[in-house]
Amino acid sequence: MSKLKTSYFCQSCGYQSPKWLGKCPSCNEWNTFVEEIIEKVNTSVPTWKPSTTSTSTQRAQKPQELGEIAYSERQRIVTSDGELNRVLGGGVVPGSLVLIGGEPGIGKSTLMLQLALHLKNMKVLYVSGEESDQQIKMRAERMVPPSPSSGKGCYILTETSTQNIFKQIELLEPGIVVIDSIQTLHSSHIESTPGSVSQVRECTAELLRFAKETATPVFLIGHITKDGMIAGPKILEHMVDTVLQFEGDRHYSYRILRAIKNRFGSASELGIYEMRGNGLREVANPSEILLSQRDEPLGGIAISATIEGARPMLIETQALVSHSTYGTPQRSATGFDVRRMNMLLAVLEKRCGFKLGMKDVFLNITGGIRIEDPAIDLGLVASIISSHEDMPISFKTCFAAEVGLSGEIRAVNRIEQRIMEAEKLGFEQIFISKYNKKGLDLKKYAIEVKTVGKIEEVFNLLFG
């Protein structure tokens, strides 16, 4: 019989200690240590072993020179979900381990079930530790109408033991494995309960070995804590190849899939979906949800050109400036950094003479998304001035520039993509920094490009 030992783990970062500590020396969090019973690995307990018929190659046991390593580029698995392909960097990489986190009810399971149902000519094993097979069947019939060909190649397994899961994987030999969720799995090597730090770490390590040895992509669905972090040890995010965050507001029908870490592509890509009764719909043109349809210009609204990853988007920035009723002015921003908003307000007061010190200022980025691109600074400033002066901006005008502390309009990168996106959507003029003119041929654009160097120039051109 294996010897048992007790250890203490930090629930925040996974730090292990032989005794209880009030403060974690790794992440400096208080009261996060929990006691867990650890069992030493018993060789009689089966773990993942590649079958003799597997086409996987064992790793070399001796060091090799870089030039001697044989390398054959594996073709990515291109799914029917264009947004997921974009966020992953062009498709699913064979042997990759992808972790998807998000709030409860946001649509993580729906996204993965859609992937399993629409992937053609490949077996997909969907392992669920949270729902029964009848519940998954009910949800699948909402997405794909029942027919003789619906669900072909999609296999459902309701199991939480990793040893039993690997037995079924050896029999089925799927092309993709989906785990829903990693916090429900448990390994017989560890005595602690499912969802604990040691169980999550051990189960992920077993799935990682399986993915790398068989070149089978594995998707892990993960819960998040109340702080928005993925539940479990922080080492979980270091072990996987890609970390995706599925986010959105429950009061909006739109969802955003964002790459936080990606070893096989850009970590700044963005995928946008619309949640419907029959599943998630891809939003190919994000500007359709970020720009409101209005017939006449309204005060306090400006359009900014931003870029997320390789995708240019036009977003609507709204501002409301009013007299402070309670004596202490309020500053609130939705979808934008409040500290940067305070900086822009200080620039307007110091450099441009707008008395905003005793005014309430509220900012909102429409569509329920969060933008960190400094290129929307000029659009935000324009919307604040428009609301303060109660003078509307033409809805055929957009902005793409950063605002400096001295009130100058600074250049931003990839300005050509921003101009072309505004032109494609029918805008008549765009304000950019005069320092972006270098190497830019303005004659090839049908849209009028206005170059400015100071905020005062923008105010004069907009409002005379």
| Per-residue model confidence as pLDDT tens digits over 412-434 | 999 999 999 999 888 999 999 99
pLDDT recorded at residue 53? 39
pLDDT recorded at residue 63? 86
Distance, CA of 257 to CA of 246 (rounded, Å): 5
Identify any residues that bridge with 122 across adjacent strands, giving them in sequence order: none
- Mean pLDDT value across residues 177-206: 87
Residue list for the binding site: 102-109
Residue 290 has pLDDT above 80, yes or no: no
Sorting pLDDT into bands at 50, 70 and 90, what band is 15? confident
pLDDT tens digits for range 349-406: 998 888 888 899 999 998 778 888 999 999 999 999 999 999 999 888 999 999 999 9
pLDDT recorded at residue 52? 38
pLDDT recorded at residue 227? 67
pLDDT recorded at residue 61? 65
- Mean pLDDT value across residues 78-95: 92
Structure tokens at 429: 């003029």
Sorting pLDDT into bands at 50, 70 and 90, what band is 6? confident
Lowest mean pLDDT among 155-169, 273-287, 448-462: 273-287
Residue list for the binding site for ATP: 102-109
Structure tokens at 164: 């039993």
> What is the sign of the dihedral through the CA atoms of 416, 418, 424 and 426?
negative
What 3 state SS string does 382-399 have?
Answer: HHHHHHHHCCCCCCCEEE
- In angstroms, the Cα distances linking 422 to 50, 96, 131, 364 are 53, 37, 45, 21
Q: Which residue has the higher pLDDT, 179 or 27?
A: 179
pLDDT recorded at residue 48? 60
pTM, entire model:
0.78
Q: Which residue's structure tokens are 């009013």?
A: 322
Structure tokens at 331: 């500053």
- Mean pLDDT value across residues 99-113: 91
- Mean pLDDT value across residues 288-313: 82
Q: Which residue has the higher pLDDT, 170 or 10?
A: 170
Residue 113 has pLDDT above 50, yes or no: yes
pLDDT tens digits for range 27-70: 888 888 888 776 554 544 445 665 433 444 444 467 888 888 87
pLDDT recorded at residue 1? 45
- Mean pLDDT value across residues 278-290: 82
pLDDT > 70: percent of the chain? 90
pLDDT tens digits for range 162-177: 999 999 999 999 999 9
Q: Is 284 exposed, middle or buried (0-12, 13-18, 19+ CB in 10 A)?
A: exposed
pLDDT > 90: percent of the chain? 48
Residue 2 has pLDDT above 60, yes or no: no
Q: How many CB atoms lie within 10 A of CB 310?
A: 12
Structure tokens at 438: 């270098």
pLDDT recorded at residue 428? 92
pLDDT recorded at residue 3? 58
| Angle formed by the axes of helices 455-463 and 377-389, nearest 10° | 50
Sorting pLDDT into bands at 50, 70 and 90, what band is 278? confident
Residue 195 has pLDDT above 90, yes or no: no
Residue 296 has pLDDT above 50, yes or no: yes
Residue 319 has pLDDT above 80, yes or no: yes
pLDDT recorded at residue 244? 94
pLDDT recorded at residue 4? 64
What 3 state SS string does the chain have?
Answer: CCCEEEEEEECCCCCEECCCCCECCCCCCECCEEEEEEECCCCCCCCCCCCCCCCCCCCCCCCCCHHHCCCCCCCCECCCCHHHHHHHCCCECCCCEEEEEECCCCCHHHHHHHHHHHCCCCCEEEEECCCCHHHHHHHHHHHCCCCCCCCCCEEEEECCEHHHHHHHHHHHCCCEEEEECHHHCECCCCCCCCCCHHHHHHHHHHHHHHHHHHCCCEEEEECECCCCCECCCCHHHHHCCEEEEEECCCCCCEEEEEEEEECCCCCCCEEEEEEECCEEEECCCCHHHHCCCCCCCCCCEEEEEEEECCEEEEEEEEEEEEECCCCCCCEEEECCCHHHHHHHHHHHHHHHCCCCCCEEEEEEEHHHCCCCCHHHHHHHHHHHHHHHHCCCCCCCEEEECEECCCCEEECCCCHHHHHHHHHHCCCCEEEEEHHHCCCCCHHHCCCEEEEECEHHHHHHHHHC
Q: Which residue has the higher pLDDT, 32 or 73?
A: 32
- Mean pLDDT value across residues 281-300: 78
